[in-house]
Amino acid sequence: MKISPRIQFLLKNGLKGIVWLLVLLAAFFLFEEIVISKNPDVWVERFYAQPHIIYLIYLASEFFFGIIPPELFMIWAINKDTIAHYFLNLAFFATVSYAMGYLNFLIGRYFYKRITFRYFRRKFLKESWPLVKKYGLFLIIVAALTPIPWSAVSLLVGSAGYESKKYLKYALFRFLRFAIYGYIIYQSHQF
């Protein structure tokens, strides 16, 4: 049975996302074991006493190409308070990520109509641009489900001139990612 190149692209990058999540969880557990367990009061006081700073960092990160992986914020949230609070934070993180992706998509749409961007696209993106046009919708799904920078992909897809309705529909996979990753993090912190 032959698998289409789009499905291969989706599966390949989906597996990379799962590996990345496992690496992040392993790094967190090592950090927790080596650093936090030695002096937990300092860490708890520093990061849990000022949640508004964490939320602002998350907003900035999601706008500026997902500099900090959302899984780290999920780990912060699960250690913060009750389980209900964790799920509220998870819903907040997913909604912010979806909204910031759409904002970057709209910025990309703005650039799509500019002559200077057309010059930039011809000069610097001539090899990768056909791939964006060909795999754009699959790129949205892969970026929504994996650690590929969500906002950067949204900006790129917007600058390719994709329709807003299609983008918003396929970007809903972002919520699925947060549900799956949030559940995995929840299960890994049950002991």
CB atoms within 10 A of CB 82: 8
Query: For residue range 48-59, what is the model confidence (pLDDT) as tens digits?
Result: 667 888 888 889
Q: How many CA atoms lie within 13 A of 1 on its CB side?
A: 3
Residue 100's pLDDT band, with cuts at 50, 70 and 90, is very high
- On the question of pLDDT at 175 being above 90, the answer is yes
Where in the sequence is the domain holding 123, given as residue range(s)? 5-188
Dihedral, CA of residue 138, residue 140, residue 144 and residue 150, to nearest 10: 140
pLDDT at residue 35, rounded to an integer:
65
Residue among 71, 79, 70, 87 at smallest CA distance from 45 = 79
pLDDT band at 105; cut points 50, 70, 90 = very high
Does position 40 have pLDDT exceeding 70, yes or no?
no
The pLDDT assigned to 16 comes to: 75
- Residues 191 and 180: their CA atoms lie apart, in Å, by 19
> What is the share, in percent, of the chain residues with pLDDT greater than 90?
19
- Indicate the average pLDDT of the chain: 80
The structural domain count of the chain equals 1
Task: Classify each residue of 153-167 as buried b or exposed e, where b means 16 or more C-beta atoms within 10 Å of its C-beta.
Answer: bbbbbbbbebeeeeb
Structure tokens at 164: 């807003």
pLDDT > 90? residue 5: no
pLDDT-derived band at 96, boundaries 50, 70, 90? very high
Rounded to 10 degrees, the C-alpha dihedral 107/70/36/186 comes to 160
Band of residue 172 on the pLDDT scale cut at 50, 70, 90: very high
pLDDT band of residue 39 (cuts 50, 70, 90) is: low
